[in-house]
């Protein structure tokens, strides 16, 4: 008996196997893309949480007494999954600026020439030193490339810093004031 149309056990099923293999390929490719997106979002949330940990520790109760207190808070930060720079910056406001609620948060990383300010000029400093904290081995590596990185996280929080008012004309101390400052946290992977 000769069956001219019979190719073999797989040959007869080949036309029906091609769409099944194609459908399975599309299914697993879609599943892989969805899983990749989920992992990416999950990592992004983890980075946000780590940046918030840095801010929560550095902000503490919102009142920073002096440079030693700031350095002590910096020593408590144990975030290793992100690179970060956190520092204090002054509110550069005038009474007219108080009418614009966004004006006090205009922290600028760049000089008018377009170059990024050095880290020592970026944050507030006094005779005790500059008020910034970082986990970078070389703080000078914090440059404009970090801010152009699409996953950089920048957060600003209000804090108070005790400042010495200096001395009067007779050389007497004028005391201290509680100055409004902003804690700027920049984090990236």
Q: Are 182 and 107 in contact (CB under 8 A)?
A: yes
Can you tell me the distance from the alpha carbon of 100 to that of 98, in angstroms, rounded to the nearest whole number? 5
What is the per-residue pLDDT for 37? 93
Smallest Cα–Cα separation from 88: which of 136, 140, 131, 134?
A: 131
Q: Tokens 């899983």: give the residue.
A: 35
Q: For the chain, give the secondary structure using H, E and C.
A: CCCCCCCCHHHHHHHHHHHHHHHHHHHHHHHHHHHHHHHHHHHHHHHHHHHHHHHHHHHCCCEECCHHHHHHHHHHCCCCCCEEEEEEEECCCCHHHHHCCCHHHCCCCECCCCCECCHHHHCCEECCEECEEECCCCHHHCCHHHHHCCCCEEEEEEEEEEEECCECCCCCECCEEEEEEEEEEEEEC
What is the per-residue pLDDT for 115? 78
DSSP bridge pairs for 85: 134, 186
Tokens standing for residue 71: 């350095």
From the first residue on, what is the mean pLDDT of each consecutive set of 10 residues in the chain (189 residues)? Answer: 62 77 94 94 90 93 91 92 89 60 63 78 81 88 75 87 81 82 89
* Statement: the pTM of the whole predicted model exceeds 0.85: no
Q: Are 160 and 147 in contact (CB under 8 A)?
A: no
What is the per-residue pLDDT for 141? 79
User: Exposed/middle/buried for 85, CB within 10 Å: 0-12, 13-18, 19+?
Assistant: buried
């Amino acid at each position: 008996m000769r069956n001219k149309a019979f190719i073999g056990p797989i040959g007869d099923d080949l036309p029906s196997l091609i769409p099944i293999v194609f459908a399975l390929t599309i299914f697993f490719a879609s599943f892989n893309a969805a899983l990749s997106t989920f992992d990416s979002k999950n990592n992004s949330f983890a980075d946000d949480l780590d940046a918030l940990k840095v801010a929560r520790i550095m902000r503490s109760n919102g009142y920073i007494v002096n440079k030693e207190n700031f350095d002590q808070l910096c020593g408590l930060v144990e975030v290793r999954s992100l690179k970060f720079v956190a520092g204090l910056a002054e509110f550069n406001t005038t009474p007219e600026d108080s009418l614009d609620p966004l004006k006090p948060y205009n922290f600028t990383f760049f000089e008018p020439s377009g170059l990024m300010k050095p880290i020592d000029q970026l944050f507030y400093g006094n005779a005790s030193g500059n008020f910034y904290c970082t986990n970078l081995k070389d703080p000078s590596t914090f440059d404009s490339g970090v801010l152009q990185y699409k996953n950089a996280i920048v957060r600003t929080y209000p804090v108070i810093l005790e400042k010495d008012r200096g001395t009067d004309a007779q050389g007497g101390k004028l005391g201290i004031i509680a100055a409004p400052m902003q804690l700027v946290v920049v984090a990236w992977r």
